[in-house]
Amino acid sequence: MGIGNVLFFLLILLFPLHYSSAERQVIELKGGPDDVAWIVQLSDLHFSVHHPQRAIHFNDIMGPTLSTINPSLVFITGDLTDGKSKDLLTMKQDEEEWLEYQKVLDDVIKRSGLKKNVFYDLRGNHDTFGVPVIGGSFDFYSKYSINGQLKRSGLVNSVTIQTGERSIQFVGFDSVTSLGLRGPTNLFGHPTDQLLDEISSEFSVLDSQPAKPVIKIAYGHFPLSFSAASHSGRTLKDTFLVHNLSAYLCGHLHTRFGKNLKRHHESNQHPLYSKHLVQLNGHGSLPNYSKTCSDGATEFKEFWEWEMGDWRKSRAMRILAIDRGWMSFVDVDFKLGAKNVIILPTFPLDSRYTLERSFHKCKMDSLYLDSIRALVFSSSPVVSIVARIYDSSSGNLVLVLDTPMQRSEDASSRGNLYTCLWNVKAFEDPSPERFLLQIEAVDIGGRSTLTELRPFSVGGIRARLSWNWKEFIVMGCQWEALYYPIFWFFYLLTLPILVFPKAIFVYFRKPYTYKNLVGNKGLLTCVAWILSELYNLPLVWFSIIAYLFYLILCPWLSGQVFSEGGERGYMTYRGWVLRFSEKEKVVFHGFPDIMVVVLPHLYFVVLPTIIVIGALVAEKAIFQDHLRALSAKKEDDYLVKYNVSAPTSGRNKTLTLLHRRWIRKMLLLISLAICWKHFLNCRALIKAYAMNPFIHFPIYSMSIPLLLAYTIYKTSRAE
């Protein structure tokens, strides 16, 4: 046992009580390449009885691939099984899926030649669907997962790799909700204060390690945008920043939202960011690179959050390397089958994912910058490795360096590291995107493998990392903090508009008709007139107001939230209530997870319904006025009196629309679309929580269709 391990265990002995709940392991690397370690991350396997090919492909591909890569650790970051019915609407545990997971992983481990204790698997939200109690009869994770089989019973697991030059600490944590509600209202991570204390304690263990650098990396299932704050308001992000993390590895989102789900977090962000609301891009605020070592700048607290793709559809795997303290990674796509060669450039670093503090510490030896380096994993002998650098400053890619790379010889090598010398100063540039690195490997069969073109900056300048709109929605928005503002904005938008004009009209007793609108056109006039017409249907107006208050004050539905035989819960906009007693304080579960039911209903069902009802009553009033004009045979006088003028063809088209009521027919189609959307939502809830719409959520399910139907009936005839 090396001196590093001895010091590590001595540190553990100093904290025997406070840290006893976490599981720990120390791995001391032996053999070359020196001061280089690499691990593999997999996520969102979603093994399913309805999609057996996911497990089949995993078994066929990952055993040989892991044997070739020979990682020090393998992390599987959640959603090990799918837990969904074939129609995707019922979400609860299926033991058959867990038996398959256990069998496939045992086979993969055997074929990889790796030890079982280097594998770590975490729960995801799918692994807790319908699990009322951890350790209970439906908690198949504790029985069939690798962590469960190895008796890693804690919510926090820590493993440290000792390279001889530094310690690389990985802390994994399980932040799923303690009550595993059925989906879809089981979507967020819920770290507790106790869990955050345990994570903080683990990251503190190596802080007093003398004169040896420590790289700290966390891994979990949920991105920080889908992680709630603890009861006291603490967050994972704050905990990570306090302990100077380098990276957080996670899953959960899948690649259907984009392949650029990376986010840079820092301690001095824009004031809006500090409120944990939004971040507009992946790179955050770009730092001031004018500072040097002589400036005496304080260490910058920052870390990267790297969500990876899913195995479910994308067949994705990640290799993360730490080469002399530099972090780099490559995401591999196995949709077309296994790869013969995988290349991971480890230096120069990809400028999209650099950490500023790595370059501001000013502790780097100049020898660290003297070579291009890459790990190459190949199932067949490699005959040549070539590094190429392109200059993009002219708008075209101009080749400026083309040099062969040589394998670092080591009889006890754990993997193949290739290097080549270069003139680093020739590539110093204020633009982090000017120079791009690409490495090509050719194996003995003549097959060529190319890496993507990676921008780099030898000065550590971070490039911009933009998101598309879907990536921004899932990575840039802190949904727990945004839920209530979005919810109450709906009420701020609807209730004042529906209620205040009514009070004004009653107070002034002044009717507002279509003739007022014709004589004084404008948005406010139009809204006032539509509301005036709506008030002529008092039952409709009162029903809308009553329904809006019902959604605030009353339970929306009563559903079966666990796998089998448990009690029913009541869902409100604040969460699920599972036990109710007048003597006990009401406890809400599944917040803010219930937003996936609440917000779509408000914005895609209720709001369109209110708009369509207003349009229906307005159309009736216009048509009624049109009929009156025709019956009095004074259409021309009417137009002159109210200063209405239009070309004859345009007026004829308008009259045709009015006479045949095409606008009403369009509104009827929109009403059908709203009812269909509402029907699909209700059907999903019925299947998800084993409900009868007439018994368990009659007001939620029936109010919108009945309200639309009654309005359509009342506006069908002009009086």
3-state SS class at 545: helix
Helix axes 607-631, 648-660, angle to 10 degrees: 110
Q: Which of 28-32, 643-647, 670-674 has the highest mean pLDDT?
A: 670-674
**Pair 33, 408: CB distance under 8 Å:** yes
Give the pLDDT score at 360. Answer: 54
> Domains (ranges, CATH) in the chain?
35-269+276-284+299-476 (3.60.21.10), 480-633+661-716 (no CATH)
Mean pLDDT of the chain: 86
Under the banding of pLDDT at 50, 70 and 90, the label for residue 623 is: confident
Please tell me which residue, 317 or 293, carries the higher pLDDT value. Answer: 317
Residue with tokens 């040099």: 403
Burial environment of residue 76 by CB neighbours within 10 A (0 to 12, 13 to 18, 19 or more): buried
Does position 252 have pLDDT exceeding 70, yes or no?
yes
Give the pLDDT score at 662. Answer: 84
Half-sphere exposure (Cβ direction) of 638: Cα atoms closer than 13 Å: 14
Please tell me which residue, 349 or 563, carries the higher pLDDT value. Answer: 349
Lowest mean pLDDT among 178-192, 563-577, 688-702: 563-577
Does position 498 have pLDDT exceeding 70, yes or no?
yes
Give the pLDDT score at 14. Answer: 39
Listed residue (215, 456, 457) closest to 325, CA to CA: 215
Asked whether the CA dihedral 633, 636, 642, 644 is positive or negative, the reply is positive
**What is the Cα 559 distance to its own chain's centre?**
26
Does position 17 have pLDDT exceeding 90, yes or no?
no
User: What would the DSSP string read from start to end of 431-497?
Assistant: -TTSEEEEEEEEETT--EEEPPPEEE-TT-PPPP----HHHIIIIIB-HHHHHHHHHHHHHHHHHHH
Listed residue (77, 243, 56) closest to 157, CA to CA: 77
Lowest mean pLDDT among 115-124, 279-288, 368-377: 279-288
The Cα 107–Cα 630 span in angstroms is 83
Residue type, 682: C
**Mean pLDDT, to the nearest integer, of 600-616?**
95
Per-residue pLDDT tens for 60-99?
A: 999 999 999 999 999 999 999 999 999 989 999 999 999 9
Give the pLDDT score at 536. Answer: 84
**Pair 352, 462: CB distance under 8 Å:** yes
Residue with tokens 């009322």: 132
3-state SS class at 29: coil
Under the banding of pLDDT at 50, 70 and 90, the label for residue 19 is: very low
The Cα 450–Cα 439 span in angstroms is 6
Please tell me which residue, 9 or 594, carries the higher pLDDT value. Answer: 594
Under the banding of pLDDT at 50, 70 and 90, the label for residue 362 is: very low
Does position 297 have pLDDT exceeding 60, yes or no?
no
Under the banding of pLDDT at 50, 70 and 90, the label for residue 18 is: very low
Does position 465 have pLDDT exceeding 80, yes or no?
yes
Does position 293 have pLDDT exceeding 70, yes or no?
no
Residue with tokens 């029903």: 543
Give the pLDDT score at 655. Answer: 52
The Cα 318–Cα 58 span in angstroms is 14
Give the pLDDT score at 13. Answer: 37
Under the banding of pLDDT at 50, 70 and 90, the label for residue 597 is: very high
Q: Which of 385-389, 568-572, 586-590, 644-648 has the highest mean pLDDT?
A: 385-389
Under the banding of pLDDT at 50, 70 and 90, the label for residue 2 is: very low
Q: Which of 19-33, 86-100, 638-652 has the highest mean pLDDT?
A: 86-100
CA angle 448, 451, 452 (to 5 degrees): 135
Listed residue (330, 346, 331) closest to 405, CA to CA: 346
Under the banding of pLDDT at 50, 70 and 90, the label for residue 12 is: very low
Instruction: Work out the percent of the chain whose per-residue pLDDT is above 90.
Output: 66
Q: What is the dihedral of CA 39, 40, 44, 45, to 10 degrees?
A: -140
Residue type, 621: A
Tally helices (H) and strands (E) across the chain: 20, 24
Instruction: Work out the percent of the chain whose per-residue pLDDT is above 70.
Output: 83
The Cα 449–Cα 591 span in angstroms is 47
**Pair 55, 99: CB distance under 8 Å:** no
Per-residue pLDDT tens for 26-55?
A: 999 988 899 999 999 999 999 999 999 999
Give the pLDDT score at 694. Answer: 93
Does position 5 have pLDDT exceeding 50, yes or no?
no
pTM: 0.89
Give the pLDDT score at 658. Answer: 57
Listed residue (258, 252, 194, 244) closest to 225, CA to CA: 252
